Structure 1
Amino acid sequence: MDWKSYIKSYQSYLRIERGLSKNTIDNYTFDIERVLTFLEASSMEVSPVKISEETLQQFIYSVSKEVNARSQARIISGLKSFFSYLIFEDYRNDNPLELIETPKTGRKLPDTLALSEIDALIDAVDLSLPEGERNRAMLETLYGCGLRVSELVTLKISDLFFDEGFIKITGKGNKQRFVPIGNLTRKYIEIYKNSVRPHLNIQKGAEDTLFLNRRGKQLTRAMIFTIIKNLADKINLNKTISPHTFRHSFATHLLENGADLRSIQLMLGHESITTTEIYVHLDRKHLTQVMHAFHPRKNS
């Protein structure tokens, strides 16, 4: 088999065996195809079964000139997974990246929005426009439920369990979780769903999708980024923000108001508590307040 045949087989494994999303599979594939591009540019003809550690080190060195340490670490991790798959399928006996070190990366904390800034962004939505009610409902849902942007655009009407006070979210790897929904978020979703959405010309396949574009189709992730960027510009917000900023703010505000890390982990849909710790930014002042409030020897 050639590289493309091995890649196609690997994609099937990621989709069927590991249940990964299309976006995740595309990212894995892109990094493997980088190796193929490097080999072609270097006039090397070697299959993934025969490629050596030395050749892959040369590839990583060439990539290091183009991307930062965090991206290098992701590429190495993705390639290790690919070659582990080849071992699993008995295509090769060793992982040529086993001894290649991953560059150390610091934990970059995204910006957090203050509640006043979130209110300002939502208040800046022009409700006189046809998409105004939809945009307000989407921002309230991003912040009120701590969703990933991919989870927001794929949210279904059948996922809304308002009577029970939850919405069902399908996250990474098609893993499902139930997230509590507040009355305010529920109110704005119902306004959009009952008063605006029925007037759209809903396209086939999007009948159950909650948030739709003007053509009656599922919104793209890029469109959510654009909506948020335009609102940030409108209120002269001096921060670089994205849909993920709302998710990070959701976690931070919950923790600062007394929620425990385990509960936040469940709501965010993180497999590991260490991932949640990256999202949750605590300043020293808050840590000091927690210690003085809860340590048993605080008055000793």
Structure 2
Amino acid sequence: MSNWSTYIKSFQSYMTIERGLSKNTIANYTFDIEKLIEYLATNNLSYNPINITEEIVQQFIYETSKSVNPSSQARVISGLRSFFLYLIFEDYRTDNPMELIEIPKIGRKLPDTLSTDEIDSLIDAVDLSSNEGERNRAILETLYGCGLRVSELISLKISDLFFEEGFIKVSGKGDKQRFVPIGNLTQKYIDIYKSTDRSKLSIQKGHEDTLFLNRRGKQLTRAMIFTIIKDLAVKINLNKSISPHTFRHSFATHLLENGADLRSIQLMLGHESITTTEIYVHLDRRHLTQVINAFHPRK
């Protein structure tokens, strides 16, 4: 192996097969490596993944830091670190040029949360007389009712719906599957959508099992879900920065505030680690006070 592209392809295979990472993560890591290659070319530096030095990588990180925010810089460092660790793992290198490069500290910004009234207002604002009205209502109900990521929502299949058992099967990050409870109300709106808007479509080959379809009978894009939500927010004059993830965040927050335990929320969200789920606890310290008052023997 002598050039960057061969090593990148090998790294991509490793991430897919060995680590089971999602396509988005692999694309991000690849993009970070390509930025380094671009930097080398721009500066007429002739290095390959095996002989590139710590000094050159540090210069690249320093130059990158001038044009990106700390969270983007942290991702670049993380992506390159993983790449060079892989090269060591495969005995292509003996050292990691990223070893002494520190990831910048990032203040963890919590996304906006919607109140139940705001969620009701957004759903009520859906124009049910339009061709996509029932679909859009079902989408919002599913995002909030099941706490799905937008990528999980658009890839949801009809064969993933187990309404009699009260669950849906969700394919999450790294193609990991989990079963998420689905309430009667969400089931009702999905059924209405299936028997109205969806039944009128000319469904394209290969999309027969996809639940949420665009007007051309194909799977919706992530961007389309963002647009639906942004347009509804404008319609009700909601002065919050919201996205599909806001519904997932609100799902977890409302469960926690109403007494659900963190472990159950972790399973429903599909988080690998409970520390990821703990971000939702930081929202409302009143909840912790209520827990002490309700359950501690010396309240």
TM-score range, shorter chain: over 0.9
Q: Which residue type is aligned with residue 251 of structure 1? A: A
Q: Which amino acid aligns with 1:190?
A: D
Letter aligned with residue 111 of structure 1 = D
Q: CA separation in 2, counterparts of 1:29 and 1:74?
A: 11
The two structures have a TM-score, normalised by structure 2, of 0.97
Q: CA deviation at 1:281?
A: 4.0
Q: Read off the aligned partner of 1:24 and give its amino acid letter.
A: T
Which residue number in structure 2 is paired with residue 94 of structure 1? 95
* Counterpart residue number, 2:54: 53
CA shift, 1:111, in A, is 0.3
SS of the aligned residue for 1:287 comes to helix
Give per-residue Cα distances to partners, 1:40-93, cap 9 Å, x unaligned: 111101001111111111111111111111111111111111111111111111
Q: What amino acid is the match of 2:117?
A: S
Whether 2:183 is the aligned partner of 1:188: answer no
SS in structure 2 of the partner of residue 50 of structure 1: coil
Matched, 1:253 2:254: yes
How far off its partner does 1:8 sit?
A: 1.4
- Deviation per residue, 1:105-136 (Å, 9 max, x gap): 12110000000000000000000001000000
For 1:49, give the aligned amino acid. I
After TM superposition, the structure 1 = structure 2 runs for residues 189-268 of structure 1, keeping only pairs within 5 Å, are 189-268=190-269
Write out per-residue CA displacement over residues 172-217 of structure 1, whole angstroms, 9 at most, x where no aligned residue: 0000000000000000001111222121111111111000000000
Paired residue type of 1:18: R
Return 29-38 or 17-26, whichever deviates more.
17-26
**Equivalent residue letter for 2:235:** K
Native 8 Å contact 2:134 2:196 kept in 1 = no
Distance verdict in 2 for CA 1:223–1:280, change over 3 Å: farther
State the Cα distance separating 1:282 from its structure 2 match.
Answer: 2.8
Distance of 2:74 and 2:7 partners within structure 1: 22
Using the alignment, how far apart are the partners of 2:7 and 2:281 within structure 1?
39
- Superposed, which structure 2 residues align to 1:155-170 within 5 Å? 155-170=156-171
Once the 2 structures are TM-superposed, how far is the Cα of residue 16 of structure 1 from its aligned partner? 2.1
- 1:63 partnered with 2:64: yes
Q: Is contact 1:87–1:93 with CA below 8 Å preserved after alignment? A: yes
Q: Name the structure 1 match of 2:139.
A: 138
Deviation at 1:10, TM superposition (A): 1.1
SS at match of 1:267: helix
**Counterpart in 2 of 1:290?**
291
Q: Note the C-alpha offset of 1:289.
A: 2.2
Q: Distance in 2 between matches of 1:289 and 1:260?
A: 13
Runs of 4+ with deviation above 6 angstroms: none
1:171 deviates by 0.2
Distance 1:279-1:31 versus aligned 2 partners, 3 A rule: farther
State how 1:267-286 maps to structure 2 within 5 Å: 267-286=268-287
Counterpart for residue 20 of structure 2: 19
For 2:114, the equivalent position in structure 1 comes to: 113
SS in 1 for 2:102: coil
* Shift in CA distance, 279/41, structure 1 to aligned 2, threshold 3 Å: farther
- Residue type of the alignment partner of 1:222: A
Report the CA distance between 1:279 and its aligned residue: 3.8
Cα distance, 1:235–1:281 mapped onto 2, change above 3 Å? farther
Q: Work out whether residues 141 and 147 of structure 1, in 8 Å CA contact, stay in contact via their aligned partners in 2.
A: yes
Structure 2 gaps, min length 5: none
Distance, in Å, in 1 between the alignment partners of 2:152 and 2:159 is: 14
Alignment partners' CA distance in 2, 1:158 and 1:280? 34
Cα distance between partner residues in 2 of 1:199 and 1:55: 58
Which amino acid letter does the alignment assign opposite residue 87 of structure 1? I
Name the counterpart of 2:75. 74
- Two-structure CA RMSD over aligned residues (Å): 1.0
CA distance in 1, matches of 2:212, 2:280: 26
Question: What's the CA shift for 1:104?
Answer: 1.0
**C-alpha deviations, 1:217-237, integer Å up to 9, x for none?**
000000000000000000000
Q: Is the 8 A contact 1:251 1:280 kept in 2?
A: no
Secondary structure, counterpart of 1:178 in structure 2:
strand
